Structure 1
Amino acid sequence: MADGQTLGNGALITQTFDPYAVRAQFPILSRTVNGKPLIYLDNAASAQKPRAVIDNLVAQMEGSYANVHRGLHTLSNEATEAFEGARETVARYLNAPHHDNIVWTKGGTEAINLVANGIGLSIEPGDEIIVSEMEHHSNIVPWHLLRERRGAVLKWIPVLDDGALDMAAYAELLGPRTKVVAVTHMSNVLGTINPVQAITEMAHAVGARVLIDGCQGAVHAAPDVQAIGCDWYVITGHKLFGPTGVGALYGTTEALESLPPYQGGGEMIAVVEKERITYAAPPHRFEAGTPPIMEAIGLGAALEWLSAFDHGAIAAHEHGLLLRVRERLADRGWLRELGTADGKGALFTFTVEGAHAHDIAQIIDRYGVAVRAGMHCAEPLAKRFGVTSSTRASFALYNTTEDADAFVDALIKAREFFV
């Protein structure tokens, strides 16, 4: 990618990006699968881990592991410093005002459930929650639980044929009974990048709170939660090149303070007596029990590593891979791409005429290419596009032009099985 290239949004790339140098930092990418070099294109499901994260986790286990907070001994103090330092790293990555705006969770799903459970106590029958047709089940089911348990009404923002949200329809859905708008930053199926700042402003105008699911969007560009203006923003570690079992919830100070505790236990309390309990202030109010210590510190290491790159250059590189795949597969009457909205992320989700998505994925795997097949935890979206399953290739910063070509070559060969 040459210096000075511009993206579709007009952003100027100021740094050359070398995916081959990045790729060399991922040990797993040197292995073979079925006798072929591994071509890993399942990044939207989970990303691989760089040497910096692997070494960080090993160093913790070998030299500095202990439980955090109140230990008073050297190892505990070291672990606490690293643990809280990772919280500060997440805050910087999201441009949160303060590290106390960051709550550790075990992933994006728990973060959304934390918010939904807290809000649920104030939901009355007939109160409205708006989600979109493109949401991951993690941002649907927690709100369905409020429909079942509290009588909330779910309203759905339609998705247009190109995969963009129908913003005019969204405006019509908003009203005096709208309590929450919960929308993904980037679709895990379509790649659509939603106008989350506008979505937030429109929701706030009617007094609703806004949760943004950033599990996909935060990977390809560092979000600015203050510019977005949302009440809550959710990320998960394993998609951000970090460990599994850890995520984070950003919340404004007011939004976090408005929520009751999610779970009870150690750390989330200030005082425990026989007659009463005084809860800790956020974020610790929501971090009952021993947290994912090594995982949180590992996520901090992943974000430090990721922040060293020019995100504009990464986006341009990934978009170039998507364009190459599209160009090579253009005018193939047997292929249907799902999601073609302007400015979409580097996801290529498709169906093949006369072939099941699972069969396509399994045949492609014979050539060492890892892709995902199914409904991608987005059943309402699959029904919207009239499909029962699809195959998804998702690109990351370590993928190369050769990876894109290997995927296309394998797909064309897979298609031949069904002709």
Structure 2
Amino acid sequence: MRKSLMFVLFLLFSTSHAMLISYRTVKGSAYPGEQTIYEVCIKNNENASRRVYVLRTSPWPSSVEPSYILDLEPYENETVTVRFSVPLDADRGGVLHQIEVRWDSEGMLIPVVSMVKIPAYGKVFISDLEVPSFVDPREGVRYNLSVTNNYGDLTIEVNVSVLQESMVSSESFNFSLKKGVNNLSDRLVIPRFTAPGNYTFKAALFYHGLLSEKEENFSVMGYAELVKSVREECNLLGKSYVIVVENRGTAPGNASVVEELPSVDRYLMLSTNGKREGNSITWEAELGPWESETFYYYVTFLPLWFVLFLILLLLFVLYRMLQRVEVDKEVVEYSISEQGIDMKVQVKVKNVWKGSVKDVKIYDPLPNISCKVLGYGAVEGAVVKRKGKNYVHWTVEEIRPGEEVVLFYHLRINVGVIGKLVIGPTEVEYVSAGRQFSKKSNLLILKSG
């Protein structure tokens, strides 16, 4: 009501002079630290030039700006902008200002009212917050914080945090404030394994029951951090190297591992997908976050053929140590007559294990030609069909340690044989220590006359 009445009186007064003067409120209310803005339009209503002065007066001394000096030609108009800065310690409510327009010996006062707004968060509030657009989680989040204090000196608690769907990191600290704007630059540590993505940095303070907070968005960048470890082991033949590369970062990374061979290492047995160039070995791999890759290689002081010989010898010794039965087959009698070829086949099964072997089944294959079993030795056997072929079959319940079972059968081949006659190996199946095993003998090669 008060503003409307002043505006009506102003219009009645302004139209009765040689100057036509009007004003418009651009921004009539503002927070402490901001400005109220008005526009004043002045028109020379006479047929003569005039010099016009525009002056301002205000209870806010700091807001008085230099005066405008206008030279207006006949019937020329000009618009000027008048601003009043709201002090930081201003109270809520309306403040009356005066804009004075003077020309020759005349003048006019324009009363304007600026409304001061106090933020809902009170006179102590976060006025600015800055964080980088992109952040490396290993370095933390660096931030610049501004807190405006319209009271006297005081200390408040400030909380800063990083959020996504849940809390990532948070810190609270006491901030000593002087009256006015207080600036702080610091760093908030976040976990180094924070995943790449978009996050929110939030600063908040609580004072006299009022909450003030600001938020800024930023992005966490991914990184690759490759860590290499080497383990060396020595033995009689040389050295073995195990290289483990681990990506302890949050983004994929390319690992290139180069190992130099010592000059004393004469021979190399290379493993995995390494490439040797001169005295160096190179491996390459792409590792995702928290993935690892293992590379290894062996060097020996001995020639390769000698190493192979030692390996074969070791395998043979191991084979002999694990062998439980020995199987041998031979032809002990052999004759050729008009009826065909007669032979006596002997099969030996010896237990070389420290325990008994049981349920011993012996299968000796017959030649794939016309033949007939004429008889057996002390242990009776039988001809059975197995795997599509005919076999001589014996079953022995148990063979004790060191014992040997000798089996015979007489075989007549009814057709003549030219060249070589091949009889397949004897197959032995047995049980030892509750486990099923099998063993084969040598095969027989007979030359016909």
Say yes or no: TM over 0.5.
Answer: no
TM-score normalised according to structure 2 size? 0.17
TM-score normalised according to structure 1 size? 0.18
Name whichever structure is richer in strand by fraction.
2
Greater relative contact order, per chain length (Cα 8 Å cut-off, separation 6+): 1
Name whichever structure is richer in helix by fraction.
1
